[in-house]
Structure 1
Amino acid sequence: MAGIFDQITGQPGGDSQSDQKELDEHLDELSNTDSQLSVDQTIEGAARTDKRLREAAQELLRYGLLEESQKPNLYRVSISQLELLNGVLEPFDFSAQVDEIRGLIFLVVKKPDDSAEFDEWSHPLVRKQRLTLEQSLLVAILRQYFIVYEQEAGTGASQAVVAVDELIPQLQVYLGDTGSEAKERNRMLQLLDQLKGHGLVSAPDTHDRITIRPMIAHLANPENLEVLLQWMHTRVKGSDDPQDKNEGDA
């Protein structure tokens, strides 16, 4: 049988037709392998989204929001490439909504075109859970503080700070007093920690103060929060009314 040099040069040394066929098959195999590698490399290169844009999309999917004060580089990337960012989010039925005044980008669930009834909480990738009554009350209270702060400092100001001890009596108005300062404080700290996971407040600082984040302006419908507070006021007032108590005893 001819060696590889004989096959290339066509010199005798064996079954030339058989050897030539084997050589052609070998060269075809190498050619196909090289072509496939080239195609794979081309596809990989074309399919990759810009790294910073990927990081911005991942941050939004992870936390639901981007704050300019916390992630300035990703925020700038998102603002400058908002259309591309929404293209990345579109297959998940999400879109990025911008509040430039407050330096905030947050996810919203896109309403399906073929759905008359729409519940964003039914989205399979929504990280947030429905707020409990206690959490909703605290959100309503914190939002009032935030509105007052923005009225005084201007929309977009980012240092809406309130002391934990100042919030405790506000919540007691609606939920009552447990009779233990330690329990009241522990309840408040637990609620604040839960709201921190929603991007609404910061962790308490060394002076036991928390910063109210601008996301609180978008999390819940303000009319719904006001109705909740009015309803709770009515319940508290009714429970303190002696006439209502006498009617209840009767």
Structure 2
Amino acid sequence: MANDLDETTGPINHEGRDINVINKQIPVQIGTGSLIFEIALWTVGTIPGIISLATGARPQLHSIGFIVAGVLPGLIFLFMKINALAYLRKLQQKIQADASQIDNYLEQRVVILNNVVGLVAKAIDLDKDVMKSVAAYRSGQGGSSDAQRNAAAQQIDGIFSRIGIACESYPDLKAQAVIADAMRQNSYLQKEITAARTLYNDTVSIWNQDVFAWPAKQIVAARAGFTTRIPFTASAETKAAARGTFF
């Protein structure tokens, strides 16, 4: 039997497809089937014992034994629900901790970027045209073809050489070293933010699956009013900037 999706012979989407995260939280719900299931756990085993005890069809100890044995499934499921609630609350706390970690890295990055802005403002008078050129190339105005990219890369290398020469002309100006260090820190923090967001999304994915894990977790989640959570999504501006970046 052939595969339903065959990447070698099937129709191909040459234009590509932009994937977006749906900004919607789905409430966890249960139907009457779950209620019947819970009632059955308590009654299916106990009803025969109760009838036997009431009619005297079996010895009294046997009937009581049937009743006790019939209650066990309900008690076991009750403990399962208690454990499920504790697990989901613990997972909630982990989601909060993961989100807080992202905020910590973002705050550090904002501090560093504010410092860089102040340092660049002091050095920008060295050659305003240089900084304008760098900004232009970084915003993608250098072109999109391979040849244009190579030409832009060479010109940017030349621009940075001019910045270095200009800074060397001012021995007291140490901003260039501080800026370089700040940019290294910024790059490191950006990687940490990416990793933290991945961890956050992984935890959210676990939550979104577990709240629908029937019976115990889904029943508990529904009665607690839990919903699915939305994973981290890049803004429209970030996506547009990513498409425009060529190096």
Fold conserved (TM > 0.5)?
Answer: no
> Which has the larger share of strand?
1
> Which has the larger share of helix?
2
Length-normalised TM-score, structure 1: 0.29
Relative contact order, higher structure (CA 8 A, sep 6+) = 2
